[in-house]
């Protein structure tokens, strides 16, 4: 896998973040994630100012791997990359957007849940796919089934992942990392519960380590 893909896999969990107040929350959130051993973030374009949030998180913690999520347009790709984003995540598979990111040297993880998605991703030369929404689309059992005809892919399930099922997912060798918002909920961020975020990250890291050591 590529360097970015390897870094994502090494961490094992990817916080999926919606920031309503980037100027106030981006920097302390970045520090809370890093303190918890999760130096990575997918900042979604579901909220205005996502590019500002990416820039502020990178400034606060240069060692962080920060990417953009819920990316739907080439304009958003450009904004994200200009702000310092190092990877792109999309909710679905848009071949034109994939090619655009590849031309710009940006890793992209498109949402894929069907054999047609996977086959298209194969033709596009992708290595890692976002499986979204994971739980609602069949969860780990479907991911396992899809890996039979498409063993070349690593998968990043997102949607319905929590501390309760993280170990089950991350224990499977098809899974490169799990995306989730349970450690960065609106309540935690809006109420600036940075210590709780750090603690949830630490718990997640322990689960990943235990699952992979036993695997």
| Cβ atoms of 11 and 204 closer than 8 Å | no
Q: Are 183 and 204 in contact (CB under 8 A)?
A: yes
Does 206 qualify as catalytic in the annotation?
no
Contact indicator for 70, 44 with CB cutoff of 8 Å: yes
User: Tokens in use for 100?
Assistant: 């655009």
The residue annotated as part of the active site, out of 18, 42, 79, 86, is 42
Report whether 20 contacts 184 (CB < 8 A): no
Give the DSSP letter of residue 158.
B
Nearest to 158 by CA among 82, 89, 62, 86: 89
What are the structure tokens assigned to 127, written together? 């290595």
Active site residue 58: no
Distances (CA, A) of 54 to 43, 95, 172, 188: 7, 25, 30, 19
Query: Catalytic: which of 18, 58, 130, 154?
Result: 130
Active site amino acids: 42, 130
């Amino acid at each position: 896998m590529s360097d970015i893909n390897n870094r994502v896999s090494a961490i094992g969990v990817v916080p999926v973040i919606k920031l309503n107040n980037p100027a106030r929350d981006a920097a302390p959130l970045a520090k809370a994630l890093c303190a918890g051993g999760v130096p990575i973030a997918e900042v979604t374009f579901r909220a205005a100012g996502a590019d500002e949030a990416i820039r502020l998180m990178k400034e606060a913690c240069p060692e962080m791997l920060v990417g953009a999520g819920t990316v739907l347009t080439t304009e958003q790709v450009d904004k994200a990359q200009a702000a310092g984003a190092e990877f792109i995540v999309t909710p679905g598979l848009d071949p034109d957007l994939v090619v655009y990111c590849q031309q710009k040297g940006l890793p992209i993880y498109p949402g894929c849940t069907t054999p047609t998605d996977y086959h298209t991703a194969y033709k596009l030369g992708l290595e890692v796919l976002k499986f979204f929404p994971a739980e609602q689309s069949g969860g780990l059992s479907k991911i396992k089934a899809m890996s039979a005809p498409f063993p070349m892919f690593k998968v990043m399930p997102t949607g319905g992942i929590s501390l309760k099922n993280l170990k089950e997912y991350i224990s499977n060798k098809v899974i490169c990392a799990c995306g989730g918002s349970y450690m960065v909920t609106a309540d935690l961020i809006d109420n600036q519960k940075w210590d709780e975020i750090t603690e949830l990250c630490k718990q997640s890291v322990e689960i990943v380590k235990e699952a992979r050591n036993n695997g």
